[in-house]
Structure formats: C-alpha cells, structure tokens
C-alpha cells in the first residue's frame, strides 16, 4: 500500500485553517447584488410569515425556487437578521458538499484521492467566495455532489437507501436553482454507467422510485408556484400575464437564462479564462490534468464521470448567453477529483514532479504578490495584527519552499494551500470589510440607527439599496406622490441622480443624512486607484420629510 502524501496531523492542520477561513466569511457583510437581494426575499418571509410567495423589491419573483429563502428565513428565527444568519445554511451545506467530494473520491478512486480532492475544492477561490458572497451556488454544488455520490453508490451496491438519498439531493438542488441541480447529476450517472458498461442498470425498476420520490420532495415548491402564479393569471411579470408557474419551473426557467433573455452577451472563451482564476491556485494544473485525462478517455484507463461532467459544464457555460463567474463553484469538485488523481500519479515520475512544483510555486508567488498589493496599496492596511501575520506567513512560506524536508510533490500541494489560506484570510478579515465601507446601505443604517424609524423610510422611484433594507430589517416601500401618507413626517431615501427631482418636488425637509456610495461589485479603474477613488464615489441621501408644499 502506498504511503499517504500527508499525515493525519498535516491534513487536520490544513482543514482546520480552511475551516477558520470559511467561518470568518460568515461575518462579511452582504453585498448589494444577489446576496443582499436574496437575503431580503427571505427577510420578507421572516417579517410577514408568508413562506408561500416569493416577493422582491419589484413584486412577485419568478426566477428562483424557494429553498435558499426558506433556509435563510429559518436561520433568521434562530440567530436574528444578520449576515451570519443568512450565510449559515450555505455553510452547513458546504460541509456536506466537501464530505460528499471525499465520499465520491473514495468510491471512484481511494480514500487519499477523496481527502485531497476535498482539500483542493475547499481551497479553490470560487468555493471560498461562494461562502463569503453567498448566493444559491454553495447549496446547489453540495446537493449536486451529494446526489452523484449516492447515485454512484447505488450503481455499485444497489442499495435502496442510496436511491432515497439521491432523490432528496436532486430535489433540494432543483428547489435551489432549478434544472442544473437535476441535470448535472444525471449526466454524471450516464457517464458512469457508460464507463462501466452496466447496461442492465438502465432497466432497474428502482429508477421509478427515484422519479417518484423526486416529485414528492419538490411538491412543496410546485404547490407554492401554483398558488402564487397559476391561481393569479392577472399578475404581470416582465410584461406578461397568465403565467403558468408550474410549467415555468419545470420546463422554462433555465432555458431563458441559457438563451440570454436577461440581456447579457456570451463569450465563447468565458469558461477558460474565468476557470483559471476562479479555481486558483489549481486552475493551470486542472487544465493540464484535463488534457491528460481527455487523451486516454476512449481506452477507459480512468473513470468517465468527472471528465464527462466537466465537459458538460464547459459546453453549457461556454454557449450560454448568461455567463457569470459565480456559476463556477459547480465545476470545482469534478476538476478537483481528476486533478488530484493526476497529481498522485506523478509519485514515480521525479522530473514531472519538479515541473509541477515549479508551476505551483509560480502560481503561488502570483497570489502572494497579489495579496501584498492588496494589503499595502489598495487600502494601505494599518492593522498591526495583519502586518505581523503577514511577516509570519512570509517566513512560513520561505520555510515550506526552501527549508522543510518534505518532498517536491508534498511542497507542490502545501505551498499553494498555505498561500490560499493567507489570501482568503486577508480577503475576509480586511479586504471585504474595507471595500464594504464604500457600500452605503449598512453604513447608513449604522449612522442613523436610534434616530430613524426604519418602518417610515420610503425609497424614491427606481432607487434600491438591498443592504439598507436588510440591515434595517425593514421592507422597501416606494414613495408614490399621490399614495404615500403625509400625516406624519417620514424619511425619503434617494441618490445623487434623483436629487434634482427630489428638490423640485416641494418637500419641506427636517434632518438630513448622506453618505458616499460605490457599486463595489463592479470595480473600475477610478475606484481601484487610491488617488482617484474619492472622485468615483456618489452620495446617497436620507432626508426627513416634514411636509409637502
């Protein structure tokens, strides 16, 4: 039996530090994109007790099923309306996902491959970011990997329990982000059966149990869509009425995104350049592993499941007209599995091992330099603890590369993981908190808390701040001139683009608050460079309206 690459002590050390990184991400404030938007849909459920209808700032919300919102609303009941509460369910599912990567790797290869694949997945950039800037993707990825693990287990051992668990995983994945949570595991199953030539499995009657249980488990979501949309044909969404909610969820929801009906342009090379950075520090090695595995695909020297799913997602994402980097965590587990298999196959090839070491050392140095630039230039970090940590890490990096007795193969793994830990720790504890100082919502809530009754805040037309609504634990109400009551003073939220219109509306203002704002999810050159940053900011305002002339 081969000696494991790392002892239990080193594996525990690496997983423990990565666990701290993920835990620190639970306290990073929400960004005014999908994260704060989704958090507010769950907030409405929590405040109103209506868990059937999906409602966002614009009214009825059709685009995503209920599961993330249900789990977040439940978490609010347990922990209050906080960043931690919104992110905690995704964190729990991430733990399930990483354990499923381990279980699947153990089933397809061996225990060591499964363990290292879980470590690669956990230390990949996209997986960490999916738990800092939480959308649907952490839960989706966990459900997909768990489902595939149980389906493979059923193929190998024919246990009914695996069918039950797989159907539950498929249903939760579907209830989180529709078809991708169902189709991806089925593609994996198809490639695995084809690889094993287990043709008789196609006729196994237990697949009927899988289908039946899948529909049983998604029935609450189907019921909610039926109640919200099918029973209300008068509702108008994106200019259309007579919405068949059940039909939309079962057949159309993913097709619209793939066909680009939300106004984005497709880039045929999006997958390749986005995967390189999102799967860092393993992106380059993953592509080398992919081409190596693809070259022996036909002769069946290695399993087809991981490479098949990777190819499927590559094609789907490349040809989709709705392409966003946060889709890529779903790719990480499959890339991790065949990358680790390739990595371990180099144990008896010293020349290849040295090549991989220098490749990983170069990638690690790039990440290290990036961290230094962020630390000392972008926000001119003055936190003494972080500066001391940086010096300690520098010596640790030097030790791992030049002084420690580990082999080149071990260093090829240790060095990038350690660099990743330092980079992600800095991102969660300093970079994001500093960046989010320029997002006005939470900052304004903290500035006016105790002075403003948040239930009396109205937003000017087409002005939104999901983070303000979330951290004030209030629902957005839009100001409408002829409908908003003026018996009592109220507060008006607006931005610089609307200030002229607000000034001309004839209000008599009392107390006034303002704070600078920047759309931090779309960083541009003027903001990135410290000297021009102030000029790139735009104020938002919260004024007390005493009366209207």
More confident site: 422 or 128 = 128
| Region class of 417: left (phi > 0), else alpha (psi between -120 and 50), else beta | alpha
CB distance 214 to 221 below 8 Å = no
66: confidence class by pLDDT, cuts 50, 70, 90 = very high
Cβ-based neighbour number of residue 462 at 10 Å? 10
| CA distances (Å), origin 493, targets 102, 125, 485, 487 | 49, 36, 16, 18
- For the chain, what's the residue count? 549
Question: What does the alpha-carbon distance between residue 42 and residue 72 come to, in Å, rounded to a whole number?
Answer: 6
Question: What does the alpha-carbon distance between residue 385 and residue 428 come to, in Å, rounded to a whole number?
Answer: 14
Question: What does the alpha-carbon distance between residue 350 and residue 93 come to, in Å, rounded to a whole number?
Answer: 39
- Cβ partners under 8 Å of residue 158, min gap 6: 204, 206
Residue 275 has pLDDT above 60, yes or no: yes
Q: Using one digit for the tens of pLDDT, what is the confidence trace for 107-151?
A: 999 999 999 999 999 999 999 999 999 999 999 999 999 999 999
Range 309-334 average pLDDT = 83
Flag the least confident range among 128-137, 334-343, 404-413.
Answer: 404-413
Q: Using one digit for the tens of pLDDT, what is the confidence trace for 426-478?
A: 899 888 999 999 999 999 999 999 999 999 999 999 999 999 999 999 999 99
| DSSP line for 354-371 | HHHHHHHHHHHHHHHHHH
CB distance 505 to 548 below 8 Å = yes
Flag the least confident range among 147-156, 292-301, 380-389.
Answer: 380-389
| CA distances (Å), origin 19, targets 25, 131, 144 | 10, 11, 21
Mean pLDDT of the chain: 90
Q: What is the pLDDT of residue 271?
A: 77
CB distance 304 to 193 below 8 Å = no
Helix (H) or strand (E) holding 490: strand 490-495
| CA distances (Å), origin 282, targets 126, 221, 257, 305 | 11, 37, 29, 20
**Omega of the bond leading into 281 within 30 degrees of 0 (cis):** yes
User: For 497, which DSSP code?
Assistant: G
Instruction: Give me the residue label for tokens 């423990």.
Output: 16
Q: Using one digit for the tens of pLDDT, what is the confidence trace for 321-333?
A: 666 776 789 999 9
Q: Give a three-class secondary structure readout of 98-145.
A: HHHHHHHHHHHCCHHHHHHHHHHHHHCHHHHHHHHCCCCHHHHHHHHH
Q: What is the pLDDT of residue 483?
A: 59
Flag the least confident range among 39-43, 189-193, 244-248, 399-403.
Answer: 399-403
Q: What is the pLDDT of residue 405?
A: 65
Q: What is the pLDDT of residue 23?
A: 94
- Cβ partners under 8 Å of residue 110, min gap 6: none
Q: For the chain, first and last CA: distance in Å? A: 86
Question: What does the alpha-carbon distance between residue 476 and residue 366 come to, in Å, rounded to a whole number?
Answer: 43
What is the b/e burial string over 97-110, where b = at least 16 CB atoms within 10 angstroms of the residue's CB?
A: bbbbbbbbbbbbbe
More confident site: 314 or 90 = 90
Q: What is the pTM of this model?
A: 0.93
Hey, what are 174's tokens?
A: 């579907």
Q: Using one digit for the tens of pLDDT, what is the confidence trace for 232-272?
A: 999 988 888 999 999 999 988 876 665 555 445 567 777 78
Hey, what are 548's tokens?
A: 């209207």
Range 292-320 average pLDDT = 87
Hey, what are 482's tokens?
A: 């002829």
Q: Using one digit for the tens of pLDDT, what is the confidence trace for 21-43?
A: 999 999 999 998 889 999 999 99
Alpha helices for 399-465 (secondary structure H): 408-426, 432-435, 440-448
In this structure, what is the dihedral angle of CA atoms 88, 90, 91, 97, given to the nearest 10 degrees?
Answer: 160
In this structure, what is the dihedral angle of CA atoms 495, 496, 498, 501, given to the nearest 10 degrees?
Answer: 130
Q: Phi and psi (nearest 5°) for 348?
A: -100, 15
Q: What is the pLDDT of residue 24?
A: 93
Residue 285 has pLDDT above 90, yes or no: yes
**Greatest distance between any 2 Cα atoms in the chain:** 86
Residue 303 has pLDDT above 70, yes or no: yes
CB distance 77 to 46 below 8 Å = yes
90: confidence class by pLDDT, cuts 50, 70, 90 = very high
392: confidence class by pLDDT, cuts 50, 70, 90 = confident
> Pick from 85, 104, 26: which is nearest to 429 by CA?
26
Range 289-308 average pLDDT = 88
164: confidence class by pLDDT, cuts 50, 70, 90 = very high
Range 302-318 average pLDDT = 91
Q: HSE of 65 in the Cβ direction (CA atoms, 13 Å)?
A: 30
- Extents of the domains making up the chain: 26-260, 358-437, 439-548
CB distance 68 to 92 below 8 Å = no
Range 291-313 average pLDDT = 88
Range 300-311 average pLDDT = 92
485: confidence class by pLDDT, cuts 50, 70, 90 = low
- Cβ partners under 8 Å of residue 345, min gap 6: none
In percent, the amount of the chain with pLDDT more than 90 equals 66
Q: Using one digit for the tens of pLDDT, what is the confidence trace for 339-386?
A: 999 999 998 899 999 999 999 999 998 988 888 888 778 877 667 777
Question: What does the alpha-carbon distance between residue 62 and residue 236 come to, in Å, rounded to a whole number?
Answer: 11
| CA distances (Å), origin 134, targets 68, 163, 475 | 10, 29, 20
User: How far out from the chain centre does Cα 246 lie?
Assistant: 26
What is the b/e burial string over 508-517, where b = at least 16 CB atoms within 10 angstroms of the residue's CB?
A: eeeeebbbbb
Residue 308 has pLDDT above 80, yes or no: yes
Instruction: Give me the residue label for tokens 């009941």.
Output: 77
Range 76-81 average pLDDT = 97
Range 518-538 average pLDDT = 90
Cβ burial of 81 (10 Å; 0-12, 13-18, 19+) is buried
Q: Using one digit for the tens of pLDDT, what is the confidence trace for 2-11?
A: 678 888 888 9
Q: What is the pLDDT of residue 265?
A: 57
Question: What does the alpha-carbon distance between residue 227 and residue 214 come to, in Å, rounded to a whole number?
Answer: 20
Instruction: Give me the residue label for tokens 């733990």.
Output: 95
486: confidence class by pLDDT, cuts 50, 70, 90 = low
């Amino acid at each position: 039996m081969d000696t494991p690459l790392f002892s239990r002590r080193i594996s525990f050390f690496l997983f423990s530090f990565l666990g701290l990184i993920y835990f620190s991400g639970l306290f990073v404030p929400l960004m005014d994109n999908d994260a704060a938007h989704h958090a507010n849909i769950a907030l409405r459920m929590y405040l109103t007790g209506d868990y059937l209808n999906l409602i966002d700032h614009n009214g009825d919300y059709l685009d995503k099923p209920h599961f993330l919102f249900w789990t977040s609303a439940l978490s609010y009941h347990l922990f209050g309306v906080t960043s931690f509460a919104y992110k905690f369910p995704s964190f729990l599912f991430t733990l399930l996902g990483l354990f499923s990567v381990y279980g699947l790797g153990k089933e397809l290869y061996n225990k060591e491959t499964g363990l290292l694949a879980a470590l690669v997945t956990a230390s990949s950039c996209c997986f960490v970011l999916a738990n800092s800037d939480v959308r649907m993707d952490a839960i989706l990825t966990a459900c997909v990997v768990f489902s595939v693990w149980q389906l493979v287990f059923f193929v190998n051992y024919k246990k009914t329990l695996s069918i039950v668990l797989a159907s539950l995983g498929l249903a939760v994945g579907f209830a989180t982000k529709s078809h991708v949570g169902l189709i991806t595991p089925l593609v994996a199953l198809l490639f695995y059966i084809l690889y094993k030539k287990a043709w008789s499995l196609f006729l196994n009657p237990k697949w009927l149990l899988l289908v039946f249980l899948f529909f049983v488990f998604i029935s609450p979501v189907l019921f909610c869509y039926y109640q919200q949309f099918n029973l209300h044909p008068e509702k108008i969404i994106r200019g259309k009425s007579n919405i068949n909610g059940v039909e939309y969820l079962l057949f159309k929801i993913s097709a619209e995104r793939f066909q680009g009906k939300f106004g984005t342009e497709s880039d045929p090379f999006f997958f390749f350049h986005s995967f390189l950075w999102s799967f860092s520090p393993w992106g380059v090695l993953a592509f080398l592993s992919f081409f190596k595995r693809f070259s022996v695909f036909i002769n069946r020297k290695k399993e087809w499941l991981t490479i098949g799913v990777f190819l499927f997602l590559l094609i789907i994402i490349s040809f989709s007209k709705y392409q966003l980097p946060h889709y890529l965590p779903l790719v990480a587990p499959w890339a991790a599995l065949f990358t680790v298999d390739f990595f371990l196959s180099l144990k008896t090839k010293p020349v290849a091992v040295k090549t991989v070491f220098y490749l990983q050392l170069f990638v690690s140095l790039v990440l290290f330099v990036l961290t230094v630039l962020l630390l000392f230039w972008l926000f001119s970090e003055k936190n003494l603890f972080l500066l001391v940590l940086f010096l300690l890490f520098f010596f640790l990096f030097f030790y791992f590369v030049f002084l420690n007795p580990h082999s080149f193969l071990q260093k090829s793994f240790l060095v990038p993981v350690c660099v990743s830990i330092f980079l992600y720790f800095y991102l969660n504890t300093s970079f994001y908190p500093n960046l989010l100082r320029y997002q006005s919502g939470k900052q304004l809530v903290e500035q006016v808390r105790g002075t403003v009754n948040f239930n009396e805040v109205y937003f000017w037309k087409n002005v939104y701040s999901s983070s303000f609504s979330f951290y004030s634990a209030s629902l957005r109400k839009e100001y409408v001139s002829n409908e908003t009551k003026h018996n009592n003073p109220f507060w008006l939220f607006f931005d610089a683009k609307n200030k002229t219109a607000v000034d001309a509306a004839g209000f008599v203002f009392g107390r006034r608050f303002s704070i600078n704002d920047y759309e931090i999810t779309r960083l541009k050159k003027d903001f990135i460079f410290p000297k021009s940053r102030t000029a790139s900011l735009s104020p938002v305002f919260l004024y007390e309206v005493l009366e209207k002339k």
